[in-house]
Structure 1
């Protein structure tokens, strides 16, 4: 099979049939063998019924229905787990991603041997204040922190070699940082392609300004994970050593001053340096404990299901 198209969705019943027709037309005109995997992330509208109808009409259409809304990252994880195409394309279900981009994305993976190609919506039809400016700031911070030089981390239109999606773990809200996860896993040949962005045709956006707040928090998380996930003691131990060093320094100063320099008879507990020494030594010990706990958890962790599937079609 040439291509798996993975489409997470939430309440997009109006756009699904049109999106399917568009993708099928592109696939057939380019003589691709393909599958389209819709992941219904707990929709409360008629999206699942539409997916079932499409799957009955075309066996290339497959569907996964979550028991409730678990988030886009979990939906992508489920789709990646089922995908069988040599190239995996992800796109949103709101018709803002253009299926006409698929053939070129496929060629970049299959013939130019990129591990991952991310879309770049260079010209956008979103609000400048609520989306464009925060997106530019977010992407700048992501580039500086991760070292992956992409202009648009948030673009849902991406192409992957099958090996990439089978060897990365997309969880939490880390779908924004799949290129970073891929790089951390050893897939360093990451490219970018300018893609068309289209105005939303049906419904309303499912993301507000809070996604950028969550995005920056996730950026800190992935920075930590990429550097210290396998060695938490290296971070917490280093911070603990620094704090303990500061605490012992103040303790040494207070001891010398009390024995040799202090002629006023002032109590050590009446001096601010005593509380600085006490606080830093306690904090340093806590950092060490956090590091030890992190190492213990790392060595004893068990994989748990992060979502519950309610129904599937054509698998």
Structure 2
């Protein structure tokens, strides 16, 4: 099978017939073998009934329905497990992504050998309350990940099959799939300017909480990807640095007092009278705690069942 089109949806019953017909038309024009994988993320409208009716007309449709709303990441993760196409295209169900982009995305994956291509909605029709947070989010993600993409969260993406069968998406991590793919060893990541269409049906699902949660997930991705298998390198390094700084300050205070006493220079009677003493004490305690945290995390990591699971690209026997 050439292409799997993965479409997570939540309360999009109005747009599904038009979107499905559009996808089918593009596939027939380019003679692709394909499937459309809908994941109904606990919709409360008639989305599932619409999908059931569409299935009678379009046999290429496959569909999964959640009992409740789990979020886009969960929907994508389940769809990735089910997808069978050599190239997997993800798009939103609200008609803001154009199926006409599919042939070029497919060509670039197959001919230019990209692992992942992310769409870039260069001209957007979203309100300012969404575009400004999105720009800030993209800038922070570029800075932390080193991936030069302008639009990490574009729903329209193309993947080589190996990518979606290797990565796991959870929480709000769908925003960071390029980052997850990079940490998994898929480094040929490209970008393509795509059309962004004004919303025709329904209302946006974007909220401020998603932006905040997305930033926290970015920190998680960065930490787990860099130190997930060696937490002692992170906590231990900070712990040793803090402990040594505190010890140096404490020794400095003691040495300073001994010098003043031996030279007969007036000096405070107690070292504890100085604020620097308490800073040194806190630094030593924090350093010890960070080191112990790294040690415990290392023990947990070593006993985890996936501690020696590595991503092997190919083998020769």
Superposition misfits of 4+ residues, deviation over 3 angstroms: 262-265, 299-303
Structure 1: state its 5+ residue gaps: 304-315
SS of the aligned residue for 2:192 comes to strand
Specify the alignment match of 2:172 in structure 1.
173
Q: CA deviation at 1:216?
A: 2.2
Deviation digits for residues 81-133 of structure 1 (CA, Å, limit 9, x no counterpart)? 11110000000011100001111111111122111111111111111x21222
Give CA deviations for 1:262-295 in whole Å, capped at 9, x if unaligned. Answer: 5435222222122112111111111112212322
Comparing 77-86 and 258-267, the one that deviates more:
258-267
Whether 2:270 is the aligned partner of 1:267: answer yes
Q: How does 1:1-315 map to 2 (within 5 A)?
A: 1-127=1-127, 129-262=128-261, 263-301=266-304
Q: TM-score, normalised by structure 2?
A: 0.91
Query: What SS is found at the alignment partner of 1:5?
Result: strand
1:132–1:251 Cα change, 3 Å: same
Q: Distance in 2 between matches of 1:300 and 1:44?
A: 43
Please report the RMSD computed on the Cα atoms of aligned residues, expressed in angstroms.
1.6
Offset at 1:218? 2.1
Q: Mean Cα displacement is larger for which, 287-296 or 144-153?
A: 287-296
Per-residue CA deviation, residues 155-186 of structure 1 (Å, 9 max, x unaligned), is: 00000000011111112211111111111111
Please state whether the residue corresponding to 2:256 is helix, strand or coil: helix
Name which structure has the greater RCO, CA cutoff 8 Å, separation 6+: 1
Aligned counterparts of 2:171 and 2:230: Cα–Cα separation in 1: 21
TM-score of the pair, normalised by structure 1: 0.91
CA deviations on 1:1-60 (whole Å, 9 max, x unpaired) are: 000011111111111111111111111121111111111111111212222222233331
SS in structure 2 of the partner of residue 206 of structure 1: coil
**Displacement of 1:302 after TM fit?**
6.1
